[in-house]
Structure 1
């Protein structure tokens, strides 16, 4: 062992606090990051394998009414150029679920499907799929958040079901009630599976089915562009076949399928960046501490150089301990992360996303990122700092001139009018300016983490509050097609009859109609034959008349058989079926803009306060590869009682403040929007101030309903929704959804549930970084001033007086750093939020309440007080003998 190597254990013991702090910070950061990245990598592998293992759809199309076989055949034919496509019925009912035993009255929705075996196949983690018509299997995350387990009984649309299984659905990995929603909702929304009979029972209980058709391309390797082109052709074919298409969602734009993967990838980048920042800051801390060590041992280095030691040997000596500490911290941190932190990090995602059972997939890339790169970066930056510092002559080292330029270093002359204490503290600050600059960066970084943790929940709650207030009424009903609330009793009977007829297999009604048409044709022919036989009673004419009458009788028998089949399906008699047909035929279908009439009379007062609106979704290109924003275009009444002071009409366009805040449009800018269903572009003009409405969470564009219908080429009387402060009873066939303030409040509750664990972790990490940065960098100030402290003790200063001079100087710098860094970190938080959330629908306004800023300052300063107590002890331990050491 060389003489220099013998110094390493002694140096380690002498500076155990410094190296232990660095070791703990680096080890802890790498442990958290490696645990997270391994969990994220494993989840990514699981999600990537789900497409083939569970046959995830390539897309889905929703229609207002059930599509016929001919319409689906037309869509399949349109996709032949893409290699072929297969459609699957994927109908669902948004059933209101109540926990039978202890329901708290909160509205919870369970999107219920029949058990699927060909596409979007569920993964069961407990129990089995439903076999009886009163059994239901529910989503794992929803069940966990609502304390539901196998064997519990629940009510769906008032009908009792027993939970038989806990599962996850591959097309609902992230639980989005609507694909355009900003966040998942795992508290009041979930998915479920029942048997075919159980689904029919839900429909009979009043559940409104959504007619969704999932599809998979025969060539599953199609590019997104080719797939999108084929999907547009399919939609066009459906519309040409008279199907009303409500929605088309490609798998890549389906948040239920892709959101979890995107979130994991985004968080992985964030954690990797966080680790890189910590390592770089730690490396500079090493440089600062090593500089202090070199200055402290300047005479020793000068003697070694004069004695024949090479600079390379001295550099390696001072690099040894940082390298050893860094490598050990990296290896141990990576091992701890894999062993102990993968499971907690996995729980962060499995508590929010519905994924199959977890298993670990090892990745050497993570080992390189979390162990090799940090250790190499730490060693490299420390080496650069050493090479910069060690390039002095032996004489300069012996004269303690290693920290400055050649020649005598003179201090800055301070004003004589300043008192001794003030000048002394200022001198301490100036001598350690580099240390304090690094301390400011460390405090700013730790404050950023801390304030992010403290402000994320208020920000999300503020966003949820804005969403809640953006609802202009207690109920916002959306319809599949226009449905009039007003109507006479006779009209309600007619539409009731039609709705009842349309509730059965259309083939039965078509068969009855064809039999009636054929009977009419044969009856006409029989009349002509009878007239001919009467005019000329020949044998041939009589035979022809008899044959014609026989045909009429056969057609009557066929008609009666068809009517009997129809009556059986309707659950009524033949006469009642005929009565239904007669009533339905009285509806005037010659008028183009005729709308169905709601079969239930909601009462004059409720109808009077309800207000029609129209809404349609377009896409806006965010630019720079950040995807498209889904923007709702609203058509509302010019004298609306709900959208107060909106001021639409005469072609005026009003933009939600959230859109303007997020995209920063210029005055008189043309905003280009795209209709992905019609493959059509629209351009609306943002005129500037005065054309904005709502909160900074409002992402809508408003027109008068007349301008809306002109823009989209609709009938003048078209609408597809009602806003109402009173609950309305709407026909399930036309009812699409009901959004209430409770739904918006659930968003805030969801964020609290998602973020609580992560917030505690971030606050703990920030406090840990605060503690270590402050300790290491302020310790360097005390160590560098050891000789001066010793001199003061020789001159009779007490320990508390010395602490008053040194600790107070450090305290003022720490307090100033905490306060001055606040504007910087608030601006950084705003930029980070905008960058993180640009590629997501919606606009979140950063909201930092005063108490979170006060808490950030308070936690930072209280952490420093703990460090200051340690430094007070360090000052007491400075020996009087330090003053007797020879300087040169």
Structure 2
């Protein structure tokens, strides 16, 4: 007898097992390939785009303007490239245009569609806004009181992640865009603000430059590229995609592998009579182990290769799925050869190991027991369960089926758990972000507008409440904003977790986001650094203000001035309940209360497709896992089903007896999934804080909970319905057979 002849017959007889196992392998590996392809494509594009368009290493602003001659002198003295960047923000009908003067050496822009401006009535605008708002080249757009013709779309390296303000949580392409026009037209706009762009060389004296600028011109802000979310978010998210890909390769496929490994082990056990026969015929242990390992190779190898081929064929659209957060980047997707090999080899290797261990375990048993099908002793143990209890036949059979075959029951439970977990996790993340808009706005305060000014002012002719705002860094380089205000500021929410008002004049208070991310506690003495003067300061934490949105230190104006080296009688920030008439050139940054809600809506809008994909993944995993587990139950219960038919039970009655044996695992799997979703969401949102996102509280809508439970139940019962015909196919003759293959 040649063992190889059994492969095709075994595949035909167990086709549903191989199909289900392959589907599970494909579905879980698709996410790995998706994230790996998307991350690599974004990383490759961004690095090339940054180099091509001379991305800045830092930008800064000063309270005193630096003359061109002195700017050149600073550049020569400290071996850096410096360039002045003038700009102005103009709001028209609720939409803000940030108009830049063209630069020659740093942060160049690239026309991606159409052509550059050539006349004073022409502009080029950021492409993301154009696509979002269905704007075409050749259309007219009003800026202020003048109409301009759009000659083209552009992208700028420090705005690939389109944040209106650097402390925003999500891109804004609905009410904000970038714009360039001719030099003459830009000059006609009137007074403008300015910042200074810097590129450093290997031998640049960065510290000397920063100290010199601060001493002579009073630096108001300094942001390095590694702290600029508009820049780092691109590479960080690309790297996060790649990290997530390999985490998924270890977790999701591993979970599917656990399911399949258990099933393979069970399949090998059902072959114990055949193994005993082959062993008695003289086949060696090594031959038998390799033979059954060959069966285990099929779903891993075929599933892995199929997924790799599909992923390679659709690498371009897969790579573009990761671009929803950015400007429309022209990435080139490709499947990395190493990633493809890992995706094929890891599941296959684990399946083979499971089969080898199962056969090895059986071959340690006596050949006589193997020939009798009693090597595992499972049947005898199952028969003793509830043996002396007077309960219904159906209940006793169901309990024996579950407790007598714990591995099989675990597969059903895990399938239900995973399906519900994945579907509810996707909807939970979506709901939490959507809910974030309202809660975040409440935590920040009740102001309608916040204005960060270019200058330090002593008198306020505009109205609203004034604040002194600056920044510090901790020893690890994490940046925190410093807010100097009054306790009775009506526009800020200065309360602790118990709802009591915090007297900020008494000391330095941190927000709860700082407490969570940096681990600072009330009473701690911490060291911070002034990023402008580079001076070191020590401060004692007086308490915590409930605010998971801002990473800030909040105190009085006097203490804020002492910490940052500014004048305590001055201010550079105004908050108010309405729009104020402040000249555009004086405003460095304007924030609206509704911005957070808009950002949340934009984020959830971009996540629609991802949510659908996650729910689809959960549905497939649930159906496949339950199907293969119950299919295993039917296969292992063929003689019992046959006997029930001999005894006169109808097919519908047999369905109720056999297929309903694991119904209790459905609510148990769902109940177990719910707290795991909350815990996983919390960990995910804390992790996302490192990527510049505020801490989002986990919130799941009741409707989402009901949908996930109903989908899970539908998948479970759908799998049972698919298996009804397999029960019908069992012949009465099965119960009369002494042996079966």
Q: Do the aligned partners of 1:697 and 1:845 also contact (CA within 8 Å) in 2? A: no
Equivalents in 2 of 1:364, 1:22: separation in Å?
Answer: 24
- 8 Å contact 1:115–1:129 — kept in the other structure? no
Matches within 5 A, 1:49-88: 49-79=48-78, 84-88=79-83
Q: Which residue of 2 aligns with 1:93?
A: 88
Name the structure 2 match of 1:634: 483
Question: Could you say if the C-alpha distance between residues 716 and 293 of structure 1 is closer, same or farther in structure 2, counting changes exceeding 3 Å?
Answer: closer
Is 1:819 the counterpart of 2:674? The answer is no
C-alpha deviations, 1:612-641, integer Å up to 9, x for none? 1111222346xxxxx654322211123323
1:72–1:238 CA contact under 8 A, matched in 2? no
Equivalent position of 1:647 in the other structure: 502
Q: Deviations over 1:692-723 (max 9, x none)?
A: 43443353332122332344343331211222
Q: Is the 8 A contact 2:502 2:545 kept in 1?
A: no
Contact preservation (8 Å) 2:449, 2:579 = yes
Which residue pairs with 1:492 in the alignment? Answer: none
Identify which of 214, 219, 229 aligns with 1:239.
214
Q: Residue 763 of structure 1: CA displacement?
A: 1.2
Q: Distance in 1 between matches of 2:5 and 2:688?
A: 51
- Select 1:767's aligned residue among 605, 619, 624: 619
Q: CA deviation at 1:77?
A: 4.7
Q: Does 1:741 align with 2:593?
A: yes
SS in 2 for 1:480: strand
Q: 1:673 aligns with which of 506, 528, 542?
A: 528
Q: CA deviation at 1:326?
A: 2.0
| 1:714 equivalent in alignment to 2:566 | yes
1:292–1:784 CA contact under 8 A, matched in 2: no
Q: Is the 8 A contact 1:176 1:183 kept in 2?
A: yes
CA distance in 1, matches of 2:117, 2:61: 25
User: What secondary structure is seen at the aligned counterpart in 2 of 1:213?
Assistant: strand
Asked whether the 8 Å contact 2:452–2:574 carries over to 1, the reply is yes
- From 224, 239, 242, the equivalent of 1:250 is 224
- Other-structure match for 1:296: 270
Which residue is equivalent to 1:538?
none
**Is 1:726 matched with 2:726?**
no
Instruction: Specify which of 344, 349, 352 is matched with residue 325 of structure 2.
Output: 352
Partner of 1:180: 167
CA distance in 2, matches of 1:399, 1:768: 37
Match of 2:260 among 286, 305, 311: 286
Matched pairs, number: 733
Alpha carbons of 1:334 and 1:362: their partners in 2 closer, same or farther (altered >3 Å)?
A: closer
Q: CA deviation at 1:282?
A: 3.1
Contact 2:416 2:716 in 1 (8 A): no
Q: In the aligned structure 2, how far is the partner of 1:125 from the partner of 1:335?
A: 32
Cα–Cα, structure 1 residues 362 and 44, in superposed 2: closer, same or farther, change >3 Å? same
The offset of 1:137, in angstroms, is 1.0
CA distance in 1, matches of 2:432, 2:228: 26
* Structure 2 contact 41–333 (Cα < 8 Å) conserved: yes
Q: Does 1:384 align with 2:357?
A: yes
* SS state at 1:92 partner: strand
Alignment of 1:475-874 (within 5 A): 475-483=449-457, 595=458, 598=461, 607=463, 610-620=464-474, 628-643=477-492, 646-687=501-542, 691-874=543-726
Contact 1:88 1:213 in 2 (8 A): yes
Unaligned runs of 5+ in 2: 495-500
* d(CA) in 2 for partners of 1:864, 1:408: 28
CA contact (8 A) 1:124 1:168 kept: yes
Structure 1 position 163, deviation (Å):
0.8
Q: Partner residue of 1:624?
A: none
Following superposition of structure 1 onto structure 2, how do residues 459-470 of structure 1 map, counting pairs within 5 Å?
Answer: 459-469=432-442, 470=444
Cα drift, residue 250 of structure 1: 1.8
Shift of 1:237: 0.7
**Corresponding position of 1:113:** 100
Counterparts of 2:87 and 2:363, CA distance in 1:
73
1:806 and 1:407 mapped to 2: Cα distance?
A: 19
Distance 1:838 1:31 in 2: 26
Question: Secondary structure of 2:141's partner?
Answer: strand
Cα displacement string for residues 274-313 of structure 1 (whole angstroms, at most 9, x for unaligned residues): 2332332333333322233233232222111111122222
Q: 1:262 deviation in Å?
A: 1.0
Q: Secondary structure at the match of 2:487?
A: coil
Partner residue of 1:214?
197
Query: For 1:216 and 1:467, how far apart are their aligned partners in 2?
Result: 36
Secondary structure of 2:678 counterpart: helix
SS in 1 for 2:199: strand
| Cα drift, residue 447 of structure 1 | 2.9
Structure 1 Cα separation of the partners of residues 380 and 642 of structure 2: 26
Superposed displacement of residue 405, structure 1: 9.0
* Aligned-pair CA distance for 1:179: 2.2
Q: Retained in 1: the 8 A contact 2:17–2:628?
A: yes
Q: For the residues of structure 2 that align with 1:336 and 1:630, how far apart are their CA atoms?
A: 43
- State whether residues 34 and 318 of structure 2, in contact with CA within 8 Å, keep that contact through their aligned partners in structure 1: yes
Kept in 2, the 8 Å contact 1:449–1:763? The answer is yes
Q: Distance in 1 between matches of 2:502 and 2:255?
A: 54
1:452 aligns with 2:425: yes
Relative to structure 1, the CA distance from residue 163 to residue 414 in structure 2 (aligned partners, 3 Å threshold; closer, same or farther) is: farther
* Maintained 8 Å contact 2:31/2:248: no
Q: Deviations over 1:249-289 (max 9, x none)?
A: 22222222221111011012212322332332333333322
Q: What is the CA–CA distance in structure 2 between the aligned matches of 1:795 and 1:628, rounded to whole Å?
A: 77
In structure 1, distance between residues paired with 2:725 and 2:382: 31
3-state SS of 1:94 partner? strand
Give the secondary-structure state (helix, strand or coil) at the position aligned to 1:721. Answer: strand
Q: Kindly tell me: are residues 709 and 44 of structure 1, through their superposed partners in 2, closer, same or farther at Cα, counting changes over 3 Å?
A: closer
Q: Distance in 2 between matches of 1:372 and 1:463?
A: 41
Residue pair 1:29, 1:333 contacting (<8 A) in 2 also: no
Match of 1:325 in 2: 299
The CA deviation at 1:409 is: 8.3
CA distance, structure 2, for counterparts of residue 314 and residue 268 of structure 1: 40
- Once the two structures are superposed, residues 540-579 of structure 1 have per-residue CA deviations (whole angstroms, 9 ceiling, x without a partner) of xxxxxxxxxxxxxxxxxxxxxxxxxxxxxxxxxxxxxxxx
- 2:129 aligns with 142
* Aligned-pair CA distance for 1:840: 3.0
Consecutive unaligned residues in structure 1, runs of 5 or more: 98-104, 484-594, 622-626
